[in-house]
Homo-oligomer: A and B are copies of this chain.
Amino acid sequence: MTGKVADTSLADAGRISFEWAKSRMPIIDKIAKKKKPLDGVRLGICLHVTKETSVLVMAAKKLGARISLCSANPLSAQNDIAAFLYSQGIDVYAWQGQTIPEYRRCIRDVLGSRPSIIVDDGGDLHLAAHRTAAGGIIGGTEETTSGVKRLMALEKSGRLAYPVIAVNNAKTKHLFDNRYGTGQSTIDGILRSTGILLAGLRVVVCGYGWVGKGVSARARGMGAVVTVTEVDSVRALEAKMDGFEVKHLSDAAVSADLFITCTGQTAVIRKEHIASMKDGAILANAGHFDVEIDVSYLYSNKHVLVRPNLERFEIDGKKIYLIAKGRVANLVCAEGNPPEVMALSFANQLLCILQIAENPVMPVKVHGVSQSIDQAVAEYALDQLGIEIDSLTEKQKKYQQS
């Protein structure tokens, strides 16, 4: 066993955190109760090293896999979780606060273990595998949209070396994690960083995709008056029919107290919008990258840290506040998506890993998650919740086909 973690003495703290997450993710455990179909499989995993990831990793271990693990982001590894997994015999190459060269070195270390299946979040491990020897790899999975995009480019140019399943495409992932997970955890992050009262607050939500829908619903659920901005007219109409005001951002900016960007776009809140905001306005970003708010403009002004993750800028005699430097608020200020939602994503991951291990001759392309896996995940989740649902009668099956 090899690996590198920050402090092995944190293993016990990590174990308690792992156990808490495990208790909220019983789906993963249920899947892992199948007999050992991963014997002889070596997984190379590049995911955020969090308590939820430790549940997935330990389940894969229980299924017989040997595992090398690195972190999907130089900043996102939790040292106690890394220590715990290391103590359990996982080859962990992860610690909080890596330099970029260290981050790359860890990816190479994972590939050095000669994994047969690659599990990635963002595509860095897949791309590194393609640059070096992808020889023994029989397939892989990818958690994110942006990673899938990079793999599609590889496929298009004829250079994809093994089949990959795009876990993000599963209904039980994208219909749930953005709306219910990010919706809640963004509100959570805003409360932890500011402590302000949401009741009666004027909130502008930029973007009405799944994240925007979730954030809008939860902000309203806490008593806020929400206005939505959009560039897509169908989504704008949907927001209106859902009972939100819809406006130009420049019009909404004048009277709002809090702005939350959920667009996946760049340069959404710009200097001209900030210029028209009122004194005391607060800016937060719920999107994956820190490009939605023009932070470079903000930092060109005088600023001071008010509380953890909250900075105040002096602009034209007004005070403007920024949460988490414009980085994704739910991960930086709170704990990212709750374990119950990660359980759905990782159940898809685990079933896709099993599918690859059992079907070593899948076509070399980017696959969607099969409907049967998607369905199975939903069934596991309902079962965990103690919910039983109806089935079609024979008569109804016939009616459906008529």
Please tell me how many copies of the chain the complex holds. 4
Cβ contacts under 8 Å, A280 to chain B: 23
A 80-97 binary contact with B (CB < 8 Å = 1; else 0): 000000000000000000
- For A395, give its contact among B183, B267, B393 (CB under 8 Å): B267
> Given A243-B199, A334-B191, A184–B234 Cβ distance below 8 Å?
no
Which residues of chain A from 48 to 92 have any CB-CB distance to chain B below 8 Å in the complex?
A: none
Is there contact, CB below 8 Å, between A231 and B390?
yes
Q: Say yes or no for A240: interface residue by CB 8 A criterion.
A: yes
> Is A338 interfacial (CB 8 A cutoff)?
yes
Please choose the segment from A30-38, A101-109, A134-142, A169-177 that sits at the chain B interface, where 4 or more of its residues have CB less than 8 A away: A169-177
Q: Smallest distance from the beta carbon of A315 to chain B beta carbons, Å?
A: 15
Given contacts A229-B389, A233-B378, A246-B389, contact A184 B197 (CB under 8 A): yes
| Interchain nearest-CB distance for A307 vs B (Å) | 6
Q: Which of B188, B240, B335 contacts A200 (CB 8 A)?
A: B240
Asked if A157 CB lies within 8 Å of chain B CBs, one says no
Q: Tell me the complex Cα distance, A162–B395, Å.
A: 35
Q: In the complex, are the beta carbons of B229 and A266 less than 8 A apart? A: no
Residues of B close to A310: CB separation below 8 A: 20
Would A265 and B399 be within 8 Å (CB), given that A176-B241, A220-B243, A386-B255 are in contact? Answer: yes
**Cβ–Cβ < 8 Å partners of A16 in chain B:** 304-307
Query: In the docked arrangement, what's the CA distance between A280 and B25, Å?
Result: 12
Minimum CB–CB distance for A346 against chain B, Å? 14
Question: What does the 1/0 interface line of A185-222 toward B look like (CB < 8 Å)?
Answer: 00110011001111110000000000000000110111
Q: What residues of B have a CB within 8 angstroms of the CB of A195 in the complex?
A: 188, 334-335, 338-339
C-alpha spacing A179/B197, complex, angstroms: 12
Contact residue among B17, B234, B386 (Cβ-Cβ distance under 8 Å from A375): B234
Query: Does A400 sit at the interface, judged by CB under 8 A?
Result: yes
Number of chain A residues whose Cβ lies closer than 8 Å to a Cβ of chain B: 91
On chain B, the residues within 8 Å of A381 by CB distance are 233, 237
Q: Which residues of B contact A184 (CB under 8 A)?
A: 191, 197-199, 222-223
Give chain B nearest CB distance to A49 CB in angstroms. Answer: 16
The answer to whether A111 has its CB under 8 Å from any CB of chain B is: no
CB contact between A388 and one of B17, B200, B248, B267 (< 8 Å): that residue: B248
A266 close to B399 (CB less than 8 A): yes
Contact residues in B for A221 (Cβ distance below 8 Å) = 218, 220-223
Within 8 A of B (CB), among A355-402: 374-375, 378-379, 381-382, 385-393, 395-396, 399-400
Q: Measured between C-beta atoms, what is the minimum distance from A199 to chain B in Å?
A: 4
Whether B225 lies near A243 (C-beta < 8 A) is yes
Is the CB of A245 closer than 8 A to any CB of chain B?
A: yes
| A313 at interface by CB-CB < 8 Å | no
Q: Most chain-B Cβ atoms within 10 A of its Cβ — which of A218, A237, A266, A378?
A: A237
Question: Within residues 139 to 179 of chain A, which ones have a CB less than 8 A from any CB in chain B?
Answer: 171-172, 175-176, 179
Nearest residue (CB) in B for A198 is: B184
**CB-CB < 8 A to A225: which residues of B?**
243-245
Query: Complex formed: what's the CA distance from A91 to B355 in Å?
Result: 62
Known contacts A230-B390, A234-B378; 15 further A-B pairs (Cβ under 8 A) = A24-B196, A172-B237, A175-B234, A175-B238, A176-B241, A184-B223, A188-B192, A195-B335, A195-B338, A223-B243, A231-B390, A232-B389, A233-B382, A247-B388, A267-B399
Q: What would 19 A/B residue contacts be, using CB atoms closer than 8 Å? A: A16-B305, A23-B280, A23-B319, A24-B196, A172-B234, A172-B237, A183-B199, A187-B222, A188-B192, A195-B339, A200-B241, A225-B244, A230-B390, A233-B375, A236-B389, A240-B385, A247-B389, A265-B400, A266-B399
- Please give me the 8 A-B residue pairs with the lowest Cβ-Cβ distance, nearest first: A221-B221, A233-B378, A197-B338, A197-B340, A180-B199, A266-B399, A200-B240, A199-B241
